[in-house]
Structure 1
Amino acid sequence: MNGGQLAVAALDDWGINTVFGIPATHVIEIYDGLRESRTIRTVVARSDQHAAYMADGYARRLRKPGVAVVTGGPGLAQATPGLVTAWADSSPLVVITSDLGPEARARRQAGVPHEIYDARGLAQSTGAHVFVADSPEEVYETVSESLTACKVGRSRPSVCLLSRGALEGSAESTFIRPVRAPSNGWNRSAPDPQQLSSVVRSLSEAERPLVLVGAGVLAARAEDLLDSFLESTGLPYMTTVPAVSAVDTGKPGYRGVVLNRKSRRVLSRADVILAIGASFGWATTGENSLELPGQLIHVDIDPTEFGKHYTPALSIAADAADFLEALLDSLPEMKKVSNRRDHDDRSSRCDGGAGTRNRWIAAIDRALPENNASVVVDVTMSQIALARDLTFSPARQFFVPWNAQTLGYAYPAALGVQTARKDAFVLAVIGDGGALYVLGELGTAVENDLPVCLLVFNNHSYGTIALAQDDMCEGRRFGVDLAQPDFCKVAAAFEARTRRVGSPEGLEDALKEAVADRRPGLIEALVPFDAFAVEEVV
């Protein structure tokens, strides 16, 4: 078996059944192995960058490694935005790529095709785990370790660098070894009973307790455990933006998503905050300006998060599922909140209720299926309104490049989400500024029969930058007014279904058609610049 076949064997043995990427000469052995595979589907993208986003979306939907295979040099360079995004949002993306051999790497600028100054350094700069194989005998284990590392403890991306000699050369199949997890200090263990008792006591004695749900709950697949805990205790709860679909936002205890002054007031009034899997990054806290005067109990699988932004009264290093399971066992000693005080004041919700929802977002909410649906959102003016006003639950999921704020992410990531769940309705929401990054992937959607609906809100502007210029440059705008093509004609050239609408009512009708039609398509919604005016985050 050559190195490419060994790489595919490692993917197969690990349970990977989908790979995204573009065939190229320096990874041709891997793609030849994928051609022969009966268990692994290959989705050919139109850009290495988008292949990484697709694999990221796939990984977030299934919460297992999403794999992109790209060529070394320029392919790896193009995939780095995907790695940066996966690192920022703790997603198990794995990029497998080629590299030069040791001698060529040592010479530097040898004039070899696809040469890069320091492939390992570039990969490491994204925060990814990096694994290298320079011989075919190392390939299987190196690929296996890259897959395992990204799911040990806090999810992180991995990069697997396979030299040309490793891919071209042959090794006996006896070199295939069982997958083993590298020892990197992330060991799951049961929460300390004394800490659990402290949590129960603090919540029981609190006058205004609040649960803050972070994306760590999703990563741990702990939605059901969380729901049981919230139902049993009656505690009110909020979520961070990336975690909004970890809960049912239509239930009485929901207090909204952390993103504006009203939600910040809810948090600032709480005397005890139980934060589960929340990292308190800049996008969530408004550059750490969020005030948390109450007692903070911080639960996270990554102990380096404790005290990074806020000093907890109690920190518990635990996987969210392990913590909630243990906490549920401790509940008999805790009284239900509704038996202790009237906490069910809906006026404290930061979304303000259905009557004040954005009309465009309300139209989307009415058209989307209640179950088996996913919404993937780009860096766009509608992002905050979508998180605030759409109804979400574990059956109606939300995906966003929240910490990296990566423009052009939503549509390729949505193709990955759709690949993971062919029966789901998947909506990608993007602005016209980001749309031109990704329209080529309509070809990927049509070719692979991926019925993602791409919704382009068109205001002929890089809207979020225009708003920033209004605020920071006293209204002096530059480089943000865009001349755009006819998006529907572009999509039609790919033989995708198209609609153009100019009102929320038209959008609702178009989306209902898309839900029923189940074909790759694009909806262009012509919107005024202030269509998604919301209260600022800070």
Structure 2
Amino acid sequence: MTGGEAIVAGLLAQGVDTLFGLPGAQMYPLFDALAQVPDQIRTIGARHEQACGYMAFGYARSTGRTGVYSVVPGPGVLNTTAALATAWGCNTPVVCLTGQIPSAFIGKRRGHLHEIADQLGTLRSVVKWAERIERVEDAPALVAEAFRQAQSGRPGPVALEMAWDVMASSADVPEALPAVLDPHPQIDRQQLAGALALVAKAERPMIMTGSGAQHASAAVTELARMIGAPVAAFRGGRGVVDETSALGMSSYAASRYYADCDLVIGIGTRLEMPTMRWGDMMRVVDRLESAKLIRIDIDPAEMDRLKADVGLVADAACAAEALVAALTISGHRAAENGAKIAAVKAQAARETAGVQPQLAYLDVIRDVLPPDGLLVEELCQVGFASYFAYPVQRPRTYVSTGFQGTLGFGFQTALGVKVAHPDKPVVSITGDGGFLFGVQELATAVQYGIGLVTVVFNNEAYGNVRRDQETRYGNRLIGADLVNPDFLMLAKAFGLDGHRVHAPAELKPVLAAALAKGEPALIEVVLPRGSEASPWPFIHPVKSY
């Protein structure tokens, strides 16, 4: 096999069915190998390397499976580092496959095509693990190791590079085998007993979930029911428990409920809400100040970053199931907090109702999408409001950039989400500013028949920047106002359906029809510049406890 064929053999052994990529000279042997297995691995091209990384992220984030992409080394892989950093921040398994200059030139700084000083070191600064495949015959084993690293323990992005000459050379290659993932850590029975003791004493418990709980929906939902605890998440853990159910709660409602909370159970989360968003973003805290804390996390390092009264280093589902089983044996009775939870949720709904017109548009989208429909947010005024005003009903159906806040990620990520879910409706909400970061990928959507519906909220500005400059910097505007293309003409030029609406009532039939058609579509929502109410009082509420 060539080096490229050996890598593809490794991908096939891991069950990879989709790769996002942009070929180039150093990667020809890999893409030639992919061309020989089109029925086993579908290769989706792109118009910019960053889209390859974001599409792989969207594929992985919405499925739990590993996303894979491949681009040329040097400037090509550097163009994807924002997507890698996003995957790292969101604990999402992504495999980056890239090339290298010829092996004899590595480290010589002769200025070979696409050379950078230390590509492997650069990659290691933004991923969980990175390595170079030095020999063709090592490729299948190192591909398996990459998948083991990406999926074991705390998931995350990884990278493999292979020199130009090695990828083109041939050797006898051993059989490619599936990765063997690390076993889950054993639950410490003493810590479990300590957690049960805290639960038994709690009168107003609360569960907060993060990305690490996305696979644990059933167990977490049952745990919440057994102890009478509402469940809330900021971004990554949304949908683990249906937010329209009696125990589901928005992040803003959770900030109000937390005032009287005596126990927090954090499951697969950094607990950004109580430690930063509801307090002082500039002050580091290493423990909760007003409630007991049980932490469940597969990463033992988390127990040092935020100290808990009880720390269970464990898989989220395993630990939640163990708690449920122990509570069942003990005959634990749920705290009777239903009326309080309902009252807080109703109060939060009244207080946030003025975030318009964003809430009205989000209501339309939620009404049109089925419970398992997928929404990809973006850093825009409607996207920010979706943090607390778009109820997520199923795991992995709300895709966010997490703490990285990578402007422009949304549309490109949503393409990968739709590739992963061709039979489910997928909506990308984006602002005019962020959308133009990756607008060229409209061509990708049309070329590959990716039936994503993209709703562009056009307020002719970087809305957050403009508001901050108005309110905090004496209305000295710089770089905030935008001049945009005609989005309907743009859609026509790319060969997809384009629509323009001016009100939520207009959006509903247009969005429903576009989703029903199942083809790529662009819907522009026209908003007067500066017309949106600020969502930030409900994302970073004043400390009230």
Q: Is the 8 A contact 2:205 2:227 kept in 1?
A: no
Letter in 1 for 2:162: L
Q: Is the 8 A contact 1:133 1:142 kept in 2?
A: yes
Q: Is the 8 A contact 1:49 1:82 kept in 2?
A: yes
For residues 227-257 of structure 1, the C-alpha deviation after alignment (integer angstroms, 9 at most, x for no partner) is: 2222333322222222112210111122322
- Pick one of 192, 206, 210 that aligns with 2:206: 210
For residues 196-232 of structure 1, the C-alpha deviation after alignment (integer angstroms, 9 at most, x for no partner) is: 22222212211211111122101xx111221222233
Whole-angstrom distance in 2 between the partners of 1:273 and 1:282:
12
Q: For the structure 1 residues 465 and 311, does the alpha-carbon distance in structure 2 shift closer, same or farther, using more than 3 Å as the test?
A: same
Q: Which residue of 1 aligns with 2:506?
A: 506
- Other structure's SS at 2:296 match: strand
Whole-angstrom distance in 1 between the partners of 2:338 and 2:432:
46
Q: Which residue of 1 aligns with 2:156?
A: 156
Q: Does 1:336 pair with 2:337?
A: no
Q: For the structure 1 residues 350 and 73, does the alpha-carbon distance in structure 2 shift closer, same or farther, using more than 3 Å as the test?
A: farther
Q: Could you tell me the percent identity over the aligned residues?
A: 28
Q: Which residue of 2 aligns with 1:237?
A: 231
- Other structure's SS at 1:34 match: helix
Whole-angstrom distance in 1 between the partners of 2:510 and 2:396:
19
Q: Does 1:247 pair with 2:238?
A: no
Q: Does 1:269 pair with 2:268?
A: no
Whole-angstrom distance in 2 between the partners of 1:395 and 1:33:
35
Whole-angstrom distance in 2 between the partners of 1:246 and 1:322:
15
Unaligned stretches of 5+ in structure 2? 541-545
Shift of 1:342: 5.3
Q: Is the 8 A contact 1:11 1:143 kept in 2?
A: yes
Task: After superposing the two structures, state which structure 1 stretch, 289-298 or 460-469, moved more.
Answer: 289-298
- How do 1:187-226 residues align onto structure 2 when only pairs under 5 Å count? 187-218=183-214, 221-226=215-220
Letter in 2 for 1:172: D
- Other structure's SS at 2:140 match: helix
Task: After superposing the two structures, state which structure 1 stretch, 141-150 or 3-12, moved more.
Answer: 141-150
- How do 1:389-468 residues align onto structure 2 when only pairs under 5 Å count? 389-394=389-394, 397-468=397-468
Whole-angstrom distance in 2 between the partners of 1:534 and 1:177:
51
- How do 1:377-392 residues align onto structure 2 when only pairs under 5 Å count? 377-392=377-392
- Other structure's SS at 2:238 match: helix
Q: For the structure 1 residues 401 and 430, does the alpha-carbon distance in structure 2 shift closer, same or farther, using more than 3 Å as the test?
A: same
Letter in 1 for 2:140: Y
Q: Is the 8 A contact 2:212 2:297 kept in 1?
A: yes
Q: Which residue of 2 aligns with 1:302?
A: 299
Whole-angstrom distance in 2 between the partners of 1:460 and 1:208:
45
- Other structure's SS at 2:364 match: helix
Q: Does 1:141 pair with 2:138?
A: no
Letter in 2 for 1:226: V
Q: Is the 8 A contact 2:128 2:157 kept in 1?
A: yes
Q: For the structure 1 residues 162 and 23, does the alpha-carbon distance in structure 2 shift closer, same or farther, using more than 3 Å as the test?
A: same
Letter in 2 for 1:223: S
- Other structure's SS at 1:94 match: strand
Whole-angstrom distance in 2 between the partners of 1:501 and 1:532:
19
Q: Is the 8 A contact 1:460 1:482 kept in 2?
A: yes
- How do 1:474-513 residues align onto structure 2 when only pairs under 5 Å count? 474-513=474-513
Q: Is the 8 A contact 2:61 2:396 kept in 1?
A: no
Whole-angstrom distance in 1 between the partners of 2:273 and 2:407:
17
Q: Does 1:77 pair with 2:78?
A: yes
For residues 352-385 of structure 1, the C-alpha deviation after alignment (integer angstroms, 9 at most, x for no partner) is: 2389372121122222223x31000111122231
Q: Which residue of 2 aligns with 1:103?
A: 104
Whole-angstrom distance in 2 between the partners of 1:535 and 1:132:
44
Q: For the structure 1 residues 208 and 104, does the alpha-carbon distance in structure 2 shift closer, same or farther, using more than 3 Å as the test?
A: same
Whole-angstrom distance in 2 between the partners of 1:132 and 1:300:
30
Shift of 1:70: 0.5
- How do 1:15-164 residues align onto structure 2 when only pairs under 5 Å count? 15-37=15-37, 38-108=39-109, 110-164=110-164
Whole-angstrom distance in 2 between the partners of 1:461 and 1:439:
16
Q: For the structure 1 residues 466 and 504, does the alpha-carbon distance in structure 2 shift closer, same or farther, using more than 3 Å as the test?
A: same
Tell me how large the CA RMSD over aligned residues is.
Answer: 2.2
Shift of 1:51: 0.5
Shift of 1:389: 1.6
For residues 252-311 of structure 1, the C-alpha deviation after alignment (integer angstroms, 9 at most, x for no partner) is: 122322xx5x64332242111111111134898232669641101111111112242x43
Q: Is the 8 A contact 1:281 1:288 kept in 2?
A: no
Whole-angstrom distance in 2 between the partners of 1:299 and 1:4:
41
- Other structure's SS at 1:42 match: strand
Q: Is the 8 A contact 2:140 2:177 kept in 1?
A: no
Whole-angstrom distance in 1 between the partners of 2:444 and 2:333:
51
Q: For the structure 1 residues 423 and 342, does the alpha-carbon distance in structure 2 shift closer, same or farther, using more than 3 Å as the test?
A: closer
Shift of 1:193: 2.3
Shift of 1:506: 0.8
- Other structure's SS at 1:394 match: coil
Whole-angstrom distance in 2 between the partners of 1:211 and 1:383:
24
The TM-score with structure 2 as length reference comes to 0.91
Whole-angstrom distance in 2 between the partners of 1:64 and 1:283:
30
Whole-angstrom distance in 2 between the partners of 1:168 and 1:415:
31
Q: For the structure 1 residues 475 and 160, does the alpha-carbon distance in structure 2 shift closer, same or farther, using more than 3 Å as the test?
A: same
Q: Which residue of 2 aligns with 1:533?
A: 534
Letter in 2 for 1:301: I
Q: For the structure 1 residues 76 and 33, does the alpha-carbon distance in structure 2 shift closer, same or farther, using more than 3 Å as the test?
A: same
Q: Does 1:279 pair with 2:270?
A: yes
Whole-angstrom distance in 2 between the partners of 1:278 and 1:345:
22
Task: After superposing the two structures, state which structure 1 stretch, 490-499 or 234-243, moved more.
Answer: 234-243
Whole-angstrom distance in 2 between the partners of 1:421 and 1:85:
21
Q: For the structure 1 residues 268 and 387, does the alpha-carbon distance in structure 2 shift closer, same or farther, using more than 3 Å as the test?
A: same
Whole-angstrom distance in 1 between the partners of 2:396 and 2:12:
30
Letter in 2 for 1:178: L
For residues 130-178 of structure 1, the C-alpha deviation after alignment (integer angstroms, 9 at most, x for no partner) is: 01112212222222211221111001100101111220110113x3353
- Other structure's SS at 1:138 match: helix
- Other structure's SS at 2:80 match: helix
Task: After superposing the two structures, state which structure 1 stretch, 273-282 or 415-424, moved more.
Answer: 273-282
- Other structure's SS at 1:254 match: coil
* Number of aligned residues: 525
Whole-angstrom distance in 2 between the partners of 1:484 and 1:55:
28
Task: After superposing the two structures, state which structure 1 stretch, 399-408 or 191-200, moved more.
Answer: 191-200
Letter in 2 for 1:74: P
Q: Is the 8 A contact 2:185 2:298 kept in 1?
A: no
- Other structure's SS at 1:446 match: helix
For residues 26-63 of structure 1, the C-alpha deviation after alignment (integer angstroms, 9 at most, x for no partner) is: 10001000000130000011111110000000011121
Q: Is the 8 A contact 1:378 1:430 kept in 2?
A: yes
Q: Which residue of 2 aligns with 1:176?
A: 175
Task: After superposing the two structures, state which structure 1 stretch, 511-520 or 395-404, moved more.
Answer: 395-404
- Other structure's SS at 1:147 match: helix
- How do 1:350-361 residues align onto structure 2 when only pairs under 5 Å count? 352-353=348-349, 356=353, 358-361=359-362
Q: For the structure 1 residues 342 and 490, does the alpha-carbon distance in structure 2 shift closer, same or farther, using more than 3 Å as the test?
A: closer
Q: Is the 8 A contact 2:14 2:179 kept in 1?
A: no
Q: Is the 8 A contact 1:240 1:278 kept in 2?
A: no
Whole-angstrom distance in 2 between the partners of 1:54 and 1:303:
30
